[in-house]
Amino acid sequence: MNIGEIARRSGVSRSTVSYALSGKRSVSEATRQRIQSVIDELGYRPNAAARALKEGRTRTLGLVVPPVRDRLTFMQLDFVASVMAAADRADLDVLLSPAADDHDRSFERIVGGRRVDGVILMEVRLKDPRVERLRDMGLPFVTIGRTARPQDTCWVDVDYASLAERCANHLVDLGHRHLALVNRSAELVASGYGPAHRAREGFNEAVARRGVEGFEFCCADNAAAGESCVQEILRTHPEVTAAVTVNEAALPGVQRALDRAGLEIPARFSVAGVAARYWAEQFHPELTAADVPAADMGAAAVEFLIGRIAEPDSPPPHHLFTPPISLRNSTGPAPTPR
């Protein structure tokens, strides 16, 4: 079923069918309706590949997600969902690529084969070969997170430095003098993952400025790691009475370790952090946390990307999200030593 068939059955030329569909030149109401009824009857839809070839654009966005061996966090999942929703609103399709670097086959297929008009890159690292590749290709892209040189790329990000700092300040205000930071995994830190680095900076900044003690712990993105991380904190630094966490996937384990140690929250131990709202509400009592606005970020990323596809040479916009810290029930005054 192609445009020629529709033209034949409507008794007009192919161009008339095309114009009737696109509205780019006027078509008499009579022929227009005749064409439309043939189209409806046969269920014709223009072939996407032919259209892409002719127009030089695919009406498709690439979404590069972290490789699948690690489960996506809820935050990432919310982000994917909101990108899909925003793309759908703009009548754009989303092609998924699980790629950690620019040599991954799916990345190569999508970028090299020009299967997409633009790319959203999740979990970008401070120095990221995928960014170089996209720039070389001249393919519009938006990163989630900043590279080390953010001034000339288009990005959206969460201000982990300021959020970690504010969480730490909040705990110090409550009288805590010995804080732990539950950061992301050591591998992520080593690979130059921005949020982990910036969370560390913000935490250290607050700790130094307020003159209290702070200890950083890296923790893999799962409950079991969260549990052993907290156990290690309690063992090596029993004086710690509060933790800042930027590792939402570890939260159930953090909870379990504190429960098992008999440390009531917040009476004996306070926790504050950055997390998807889901995890914050899953915590018990609910977690005082900056709720990462993944849905807004996804929508913003798509909007930015559409803008860059339209005007590749315009200055790249970016937006740093600094969501408010929602005061819930997991933080309280430091326990008085007995």
In the numeric block, the tokens 């997170």 are attached to 145
Determine contact, residues 80/285, Cβ cutoff 8 Å: no
Nearest to 308 by CA among 129, 144, 174, 117: 117
Dihedral over Cα of 211, 212, 213, 215: its sign: negative
- Site for a second copy contains 96 (CB under 8 A): yes
Contact residue for DNA among 8, 15, 33, 42 (CB under 7 A): 15
Contact residue for DNA among 8, 22, 81, 187 (CB under 7 A): 22
In the list a second copy, DNA, none, the entry touching 219 (Cβ below 5 to 8 angstroms by class) is none
Question: What percent of the chain is helix, strand and coil (3-state, nearest 5)?
Answer: 50, 15, 35
- Binding-residue total with DNA (CB under 7 A): 30
- Closest CB to a second copy among 2 and 15? 2
CA dist., res. 205 & res. 227, Å (int): 26
Contact residue for DNA among 8, 11, 71, 314 (CB under 7 A): 11
List, in sequence order, every residue forming a beta bridge with 243; answer none if it has no partner. 180, 271
- Site for a second copy contains 77 (CB under 8 A): yes
- Closest CB to a second copy among 36 and 282? 282
CA dist., res. 137 & res. 270, Å (int): 48
Which DSSP string corresponds to 38-106?
A: HHHHHT----HHHHHHHHT--SEEEEEE--TTSPPPHHHHHHHHHHHHHHHHTT-EEEEEE-SSTTSHH
- Site for a second copy contains 328 (CB under 8 A): no
The least distance separating a second copy from the CB of residue 250, rounded to whole angstroms, comes to: 12
Contact string 114-133 vs a second copy (x = CB under 8 A): xx------------------
List, in sequence order, every residue forming a beta bridge with 63; answer none if it has no partner. 96, 120
The least distance separating a second copy from the CB of residue 235, rounded to whole angstroms, comes to: 22
- Site for DNA contains 33 (CB under 7 A): no
The gap from C-alpha 66 to its chain's centroid, in whole angstroms, comes to 10
- Site for a second copy contains 52 (CB under 8 A): yes
Please give the backbone phi and psi of residue 133, each rounded to the nearest 5 degrees, phi first: -60, -45
- Site for a second copy contains 284 (CB under 8 A): yes
- Site of interaction with a second copy (CB under 8 A): 43, 45-53, 58, 60, 63, 68, 71-72, 74, 77-78, 81-82, 84-85, 88, 91, 93-98, 105-106, 108-110, 112-115, 136, 223, 252, 256, 278, 281-282, 284
- Site of interaction with DNA (CB under 7 A): 2-4, 11-16, 18-19, 21-22, 24-28, 30-32, 44, 46-47, 50-51, 53-56
